[in-house]
C-alpha cells in the first residue's frame, strides 16, 4: 500500500468517525459538534462536516482535515499522525513502509495483470461472447466501466510473455505469471484462462489483483474460475467493485452486499452504485473493517439459494459482533439481484430496500413455531433459541427489546428483569456464541485521550493569515492584479509559495476543482501544520462568488495595512527589548527616536 492509498483510506472514512475516537461528538440539527480540545471550551464550538471532510472551530479558528486534527491533538509530526490514523481505520502502517521499498514481485505481477487486461479487452469478440453481452444487457459503457474482456481459446498471455526479449526480466515475468496463476507450465507454457469472459478484480485502491472468469461454453468444467490465491490475490479480503463504490457508500451511508460479479454489475447499471460483491461466500475481517469505516447500514443481497443464505448468516453474525444489525433483501421468487432487477426494475428494488427487515428479525421469526406451545418448558426452549441468535450482539438494548418482545408473544409472564438476567446468564455460559477473531471497530471510547498540544509557534502574522483565508475562501481574488504586489509584501516564504502555486493552478483548472486541489495540498504533508490549519479553516468556509474589482482592491488594501501593521508591531517589540537592555545614554537616544518613528507610522496606518 502506497502512502497515497493510506491517505485515500483516511479520506474515505467519515471525519466524524475519526475525530469521535478522540473527543465526544454529538449531533445537533444538521451539525456534528463537540468541545474544541485546542482551547478552553465550555460551549461546543468545534463543528465536524463529513461532506466537506473538514473540522472547524469557530472560536479559536482552528480547522483542517483528519490528519491535521490528529497531528495537532497528539502533538506529533505528519508521518506519526498517519501511523496513528492507520490504526484508527484498521490497517497496518507497516504495509506502507514495506511498499516504500518497492516489492519487485508485486510490481511485476501488477505489470503482467495490467497488460492482460489490455490484451483481453483488445481480443476480437466471438459470436458466443457477443451474444452473452447482448443477452445480459451489457452495453459498451458498462463493459468499459468494469474493463470486461475476452480470453480467447489460444494462449495469448503466454504468447505475449514468450515474445519478451531474452533476459532476467523475461525469466522473472514467466516465473511470477506462473506463481499468480495466469499461466501454467506442462513442458510448455499455456494460459490458465481460455474461452472465458474476464472480470478484472481490483483492491480497494484500484490496483489490479487478479481475475474472475466465466465459462463461455457449457462443456467447460468450471463455470466460474478465479485467480489462484497468491501474494497478490487474497480472495477473502477483496471486494469486487469497491474502488468504484466507496464514495457512494460514504455519501449514501449504506452498502449493498451481493455475491456475484454479474449481480454487482447489474446493481451499478441500475443506479445502485453503493454496492459491492464478496469474492466467494466469505467476507474477510479486513474487508469488513473497511466497510464499517464507511457505514453501519448494511443490506445483505446475496443469492436466494442455501449457500447464499448461509453466507448471509455468517456475515450477519460478524456484523452483530460489532454492534451492527444488517437488513435482509429477499429476492424471491427471483434468485439474485441481477434477475430481480431485470424482471422488476430499479423502482421495485428501491421499495424492497425501504421495507427490508433486519436479517436477525427474519431468523427470530423462523425460530417461532407456527402454533405457540402450551407447555412452559417448550416456551422456554423457544426463547432460549432466540438467546443463541441474539448472543453476538451481547447484552445491549436492541437484543433486550427483541427478547422481551418474543417472551410476550410466547405468553411468558416472567418479570422483564428476570428475562434479561436469564439472557445475561446464557451469555456467560455460552462464550462460544460470541467468539471471533478481532474486528477493528471505530467508535467513541468510554474515556477519551487527553490532547498533547505542542506550544503553537505563531510563524504567520495576522495579515498573512488573513491573506491566505481570503484567497482560499474565494479564489476569485487570485484574478486581481494586486496579488503580485501582495506577494512582494508577504514576508513568510511558505505563504508566498502557496499563494503563487494557487494562482498558477487556478487558471489551469475548472472552478469546481479548486477545493479538491486545496484539500490535496492539505493532505500532502508539504505544508507546515500552522499553514494547514489556516488553509483548512478557510476551505471550510469556501464560497466562491463574483466580486467587483473595487471590493477586491479594498480587501487587499486592508490586508496590506494589516501586514504592515504586524511588521511595525514586531519592530516595536524588538526595539523595546533593546531599550530595556540598553546601558548607555548615547545609544538610548537613537533607539527612542526609532521607536517614536514607528509609533508615528502606526498612527498614520490606523488613520488611513
Is residue 69 scored above 90 in pLDDT? yes
Model-level pTM?
0.65
> What does CATH list as the number for 104-233?
3.90.980.10
Q: What is the mean pLDDT of residues 106-135?
A: 94
Query: What rounded mean pLDDT belongs to the chain?
Result: 86
- Give the pLDDT confidence score for residue 447 in this predicted structure: 60
- Give the pLDDT confidence score for residue 361 in this predicted structure: 93
Give the best-scoring range by mean pLDDT among 341-355, 435-449, 556-570: 341-355
Is residue 442 scored above 60 in pLDDT? no
> What does CATH list as the number for 3-89?
3.90.580.10
Give the up-direction half-sphere exposure of residue 40: CA atoms within 13 A in the CB hemisphere. 0
Q: What is the mean pLDDT of residues 343-354?
A: 95
- Give the pLDDT confidence score for residue 438 in this predicted structure: 33
Is residue 55 scored above 90 in pLDDT? yes
Q: What is the pLDDT of residues 94-118, one digit of tens each?
A: 766 555 556 788 889 999 999 999 9
- Give the pLDDT confidence score for residue 369 in this predicted structure: 87
Q: What is the mean pLDDT of residues 435-451?
A: 49
Q: 463: Cβ–Cβ under 8 A, 6 or more apart, which residues? A: 559, 560, 561, 562, 563, 564, 565, 566
3-89 with 104-233: one CATH topology? no
Is residue 387 scored above 50 in pLDDT? yes
Q: How far is CA 492 from the centre of its chain?
A: 34
**C-alpha cell, 13:** 472514512
Number of H-type helices and E-type strands within the chain: 27, 16
- Residues 307 and 281: beta-carbon distance below 8 Å: yes
Q: What is the pLDDT of residues 588-603, one digit of tens each?
A: 778 888 888 888 888 8
Q: 138: Cβ–Cβ under 8 A, 6 or more apart, which residues? A: 132, 148, 265
CA 564 – CA 115 distance, rounded (Å): 59
Q: When comparing pLDDT for 100 and 157, which is higher?
A: 157
> What does CATH list as the number for 237-362?
3.40.1360.10
Binning pLDDT at 50, 70 and 90, where does residue 441 land?
very low
Query: What residue spans define the domains of the chain?
Result: 3-89, 104-233, 237-362, 372-434, 462-607
CA 291 – CA 14 distance, rounded (Å): 11
CA 525 – CA 89 distance, rounded (Å): 19
Q: What is the pLDDT of residues 229-244, one digit of tens each?
A: 898 998 888 999 999 9
3-state secondary structure 273-327: CCEEEECCCCCCHHHHHHHHHHCCCEEECCCCCHHHHHHHHHHHHHHHHCCCCCE
Q: What is the pLDDT of residues 137-150, one digit of tens each?
A: 999 999 999 999 99
Binning pLDDT at 50, 70 and 90, where does residue 437 land?
very low
- Give the pLDDT confidence score for residue 308 in this predicted structure: 85
Amino acid at each position: 500500500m502506497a502512502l497515497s492509498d493510506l491517505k485515500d483510506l483516511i479520506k474515505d472514512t467519515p471525519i466524524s468517525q475519526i475525530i469521535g475516537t478522540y473527543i465526544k461528538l454529538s449531533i445537533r440539527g444538521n451539525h456534528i459538534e463537540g468541545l474544541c480540545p485546542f482551547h478552553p471550551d465550555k460551549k461546543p464550538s468545534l463543528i465536524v462536516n463529513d461532506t466537506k471532510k473538514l473540522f472547524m472551530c469557530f472560536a479559536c479558528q482552528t480547522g483542517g482535515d483528519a490528519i491535521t486534527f490528529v497531528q495537532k491533538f497528539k502533538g506529533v509530526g505528519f508521518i506519526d499522525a498517519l501511523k496513528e490514523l492507520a490504526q484508527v481505520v484498521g490497517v497496518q502502517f507497516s504495509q506502507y513502509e514495506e511498499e516504500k521499498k518497492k516489492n519487485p514481485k508485486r510490481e511485476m505481477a501488477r505489470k503482467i495483470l495490467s497488460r492482460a487486461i489490455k490484451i483481453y479487452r483488445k481480443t476480437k469478440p466471438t459470436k458466443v461472447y457477443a451474444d452473452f453481452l447482448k443477452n445480459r444487457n451489457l452495453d459498451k459503457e458498462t463493459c468499459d466501466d468494469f474493463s470486461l474482456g475476452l480470453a480467447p481459446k489460444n494462449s495469448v498471455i503466454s504468447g505475449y510473455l514468450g515474445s519478451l526479449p531474452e533476459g532476467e526480466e523475461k525469466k522473472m515475468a514467466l516465473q511470477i505469471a506462473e506463481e499468480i496463476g495466469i499461466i501454467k507450465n506442462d513442458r510448455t507454457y499455456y494460459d490458465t484462462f481460455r474461452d472465458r469472459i474476464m472480470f478484472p478484480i481490483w483492491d480497494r485502491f484500484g490496483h489490479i489483483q487478479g481475475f474472475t472468469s466465466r465459462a463461455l461454453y457449457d462443456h467447460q468444467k468450471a463455470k466460474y474460475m478465479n485467480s489462484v490465491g497468491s501474494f497478490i490475490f487474497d480472495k477473502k479480503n477483496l471486494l469486487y467493485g469497491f474502488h468504484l463504490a466507496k464514495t457512494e457508500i460514504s455519501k449514501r451511508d449504506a452498502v449493498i452486499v451481493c455475491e456475484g460479479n454479474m449481480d454487482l454489475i447489474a446493481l451499478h447499471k441500475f443506479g445502485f452504485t453503493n454496492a459491492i460483491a464478496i469474492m466467494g461466500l466469505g467476507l474477510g475481517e479486513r474487508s469488513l473493517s473497511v466497510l464499517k469505516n464507511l457505514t453501519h447500514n448494511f443490506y445483505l443481497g446475496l443469492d436466494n439459494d442455501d449457500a447464499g443464505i448461509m453466507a448471509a448468516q455468517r456475515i450477519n453474525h460478524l456484523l452483530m459482533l460489532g454492534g451492527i444489525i444488517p437488513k435482509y433483501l429477499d429476492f424471491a421468487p427471483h434468485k439474485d439481484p441481477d434477475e430481480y432487477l431485470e424482471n422488476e426494475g430499479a423502482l421495485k428494488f428501491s421499495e424492497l430496500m425501504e421495507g427490508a427487515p433486519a436479517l436477525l428479525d427474519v431468523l427470530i421469526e423462523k425460530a417461532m413455531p407456527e402454533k405457540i406451545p402450551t407447555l412452559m418448558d417448550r416456551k422456554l426452549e423457544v426463547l432460549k433459541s432466540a438467546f443463541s441468535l441474539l448472543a453476538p450482539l451481547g447484552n445491549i438494548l436492541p437484543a433486550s427489546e427483541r427478547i422481551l418482545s418474543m417472551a410476550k408473544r410466547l405468553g411468558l409472564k416472567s418479570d422483564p428483569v428476570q428475562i434479561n438476567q436469564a439472557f445475561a446468564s446464557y451469555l456467560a455460559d455460552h462464550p462460544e456464541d460470541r467468539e471471533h477473531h478481532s474486528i477493528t471497530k471505530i467508535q467513541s471510547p468510554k474515556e477519551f485521550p487527553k490532547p498533547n498540544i505542542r506550544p503553537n509557534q505563531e510563524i504567520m502574522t495576522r495579515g498573512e493569515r488573513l491573506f491566505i483565508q481570503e484567497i482560499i475562501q474565494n479564489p476569485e481574488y487570485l484574478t486581481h492584479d494586486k496579488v503580485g504586489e501582495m506577494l512582494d509584501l508577504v514576508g513568510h516564504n511558505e505563504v508566498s509559495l502557496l499563494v503563487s502555486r494557487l494562482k498558477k493552478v487556478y487558471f489551469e483548472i475548472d472552478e469546481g476543482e479548486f477545493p479538491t486541489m486545496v484539500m490535496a495540498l492539505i493532505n500532502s504533508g508539504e505544508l507546515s501544520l500552522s499553514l494547514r490549519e489556516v488553509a483548512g479553516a478557510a476551505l471550510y468556509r469556501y464560497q466562491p462568488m463574483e466580486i467587483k474589482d473595487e471590493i477586491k482592491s479594498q480587501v487587499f488594501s486592508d490586508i496590506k495595512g494589516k501586514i504592515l501593521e504586524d511588521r511595525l508591531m514586531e519592530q516595536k517589540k524588538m526595539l523595546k527589548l533593546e531599550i530595556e537592555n540598553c546601558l548607555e545614554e548615547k545609544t538610548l537616544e537613537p533607539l527612542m527616536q526609532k521607536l517614536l518613528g514607528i509609533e508615528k507610522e502606526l498612527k498614520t496606518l490606523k488613520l488611513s
